[in-house]
């Protein structure tokens, strides 16, 4: 995570709590109901999903997060829940580099799949398979959508915090072959005047359901039932 994206971290919880998190809160606990020993979370971010996992299961959690700014928020969140300090280990690495001492019962990836290119996903699934015990569960969120058309900047969301408004704007610059390049502007306004602005250009990858099924089958995973927008596989 570069310095510019680090400055966008204050917007992270505002936006994601308004996006995928309600469905994750509703459906993820049921999928993890049988997990008791250990969970690996890839891309823990600021720890919102980590808390959901910790509430759903008494398992030990290995929270992988490569970005220092995100880990800082995650660790601060853990200090507000002292009972979690003994069972959440924060790993300062990426999903492609994780190697645990022993296999876990489940691996969870929420709002992180788009960060991996097709080539990286082909490397990721075998890495995660090595971390899972036989029959272990892999859960991720995914919604298949058509690629957007490049166009004008759009307002994605705005949130009032005290006397300020936190605004997120996005413009699609290019979209082809499952990759979307977007320019995000993170603005803080006071009485309508911009007092802080961060610009981030990033790529997001949108695999099809068929792509995922083929990739995971090659890595030894078998589809399992899961409520939308979650998908699940078990290690065969």
- Classify strands 38-42 and 60-64 as parallel, antiparallel or unpaired: parallel
Sign of CA dihedral 50, 111, 38, 88: negative
**Furthest-apart CA pair in the chain: how many Å?**
57
Taking only the tens place, the pLDDT of each residue in 68-125 is 999 999 999 999 999 999 999 999 999 999 999 999 999 999 999 999 999 999 999 9
Residue 48 CA to residue 70 CA, distance in Å, equals 11
pLDDT tens for each residue of the chain, 236 residues long = 555 567 789 999 998 877 789 999 999 999 999 999 999 999 999 999 999 999 999 999 999 999 999 999 999 999 999 999 999 999 999 999 999 999 999 999 999 999 999 999 999 999 999 999 999 999 999 999 899 999 999 999 999 999 999 999 999 999 999 999 999 999 999 999 999 999 999 999 999 999 999 999 999 999 999 999 999 999 99
Cα(154)–Cα(150) distance, rounded to whole angstroms? Answer: 11
Radius of gyration from C-alpha coordinates of the chain: 18
Where in 16-163 does DSSP place strands (E)? 38-42, 60-64, 88-91, 104-109, 132-141, 154-161
Distance of CA 212 to the CA centre of its chain: 16
Q: What's the rounded Cα separation, in Å, for the pair 89 and 39?
A: 11
């Amino acid at each position: 995570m570069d310095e510019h994206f680090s400055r966008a971290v204050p917007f992270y919880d505002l936006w994601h709590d308004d996006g995928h998190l309600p469905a994750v809160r509703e459906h993820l606990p049921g999928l993890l109901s049988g997990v008791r020993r250990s969970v690996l979370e890839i891309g823990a971010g600021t720890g919102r999903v980590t808390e959901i996992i910790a509430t759903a299961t008494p398992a030990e959690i290995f929270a992988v997060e490569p970005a220092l700014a995100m880990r800082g928020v995650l660790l601060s969140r853990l200090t507000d829940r002292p009972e979690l300090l003994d069972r959440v280990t924060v790993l300062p690495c990426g999903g492609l580099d994780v190697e645990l001492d022993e296999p876990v019962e489940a691996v969870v990836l929420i709002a992180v799949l788009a960060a991996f290119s097709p080539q990286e996903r082909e490397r990721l699934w075998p890495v995660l398979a090595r971390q899972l015990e036989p029959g272990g569960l892999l859960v991720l969120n995914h919604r298949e959508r058509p690629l957007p058309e490049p166009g004008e900047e759009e307002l994605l969301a705005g949130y009032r915090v005290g006397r300020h408004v936190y605004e997120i704007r996005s413009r699609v610059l290019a979209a082809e072959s499952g990759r979307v390049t977007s320019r995000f502007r993170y603005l803080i306004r006071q009485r309508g005047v911009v007092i802080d602005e961060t610009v981030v250009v990033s790529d997001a990858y949108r695999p099809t359901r068929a792509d995922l099924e083929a990739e995971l089958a090659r890595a030894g995973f078998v589809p399992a039932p899961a409520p939308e927008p979650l998908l699940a596989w078990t290690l065969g």
